[in-house]
Amino acid sequence: MTSSVSADTPPDWRTLAEIPLLATLADDRLRRLWGASLPRRYAARQVLRNVGDPATHLLLLLRGRVAATVTTSVGRVVHFGNFVAPCALDKVAVIDSGGHTATLTALTPCAVRSLPRDAFHALVDSVPSARRHVLRVLADQARHQQARFAATVTLRTEARLAAWLLGEAGASSDSRVTLSGTQESLADLLGVTRVTINRALMRLRRDGLIAIRFRTVSILAPELLRLRASG
């Protein structure tokens, strides 16, 4: 198994080992996937794929952060969440050969490898351990989405917000969360209104659990925030 690669290291084939979907592959397989994929770079706010676009390639996000959104028939933008590198984007669309399930927009400059769908399908078909791992990753995501739906229905906004902040902070080393979108996009993600999310942020700040400066939220009391997240 390949060792972890520093975030400061320029992406190469070893970076693929950091993507959960590919984490169990041996080095020779990772090199082959790297050779079969094409490099892509996207500027902040650039659209990688639009909802409904044919999913002909699996997008492997090596650096950066991407938002997944859908615009409804009445013009409301529904924010499904953000993807943080390293990860594979919109795997379901590639697996079922349907169109992309959301519009993918770069929130920061992004480095991507574009792997042809047929190459990914061949990997899953020919390597049983890779197939089992892909199924496990998809099952974990399905459970996460189910838990998120249950939280949206049953938990107070403050608890949902606390859980989201803790989850986002888990990917950072300094307990800080950057709000890459507006409060309205965060409200859409958590299934509430902008006013409701603003009030929840203010309560958490008033109680000394977080500090807010511009678009950055610093977690000051993670243990107490976990108690809030428990509802």
Domain boundaries, the chain: 13-150, 155-229
* Mean pLDDT estimate for the chain: 83
- Dist CA 131 CA 129 (whole Å): 5
Mark 166-191 as b/e (b = at least 16 C-beta within 10 Å): bebbeeeeebbbebbbebbbbbbbbb
Q: What is the pTM of this model?
A: 0.67
pLDDT in tens, 139-166: 777 676 666 666 655 678 888 888 888 8
Q: Tokens standing for 158?
A: 């403050």
Does 151 or 204 have the greater pLDDT score? 204
More confident residue, 182 or 89: 89
155-229: CATH class: mainly alpha
- Average the pLDDT over 34-43 and give the result: 95
Which CATH code is given to the segment(s) 13-150? 2.60.120.10
Q: Which residue has the tokens 């890459």?
A: 180
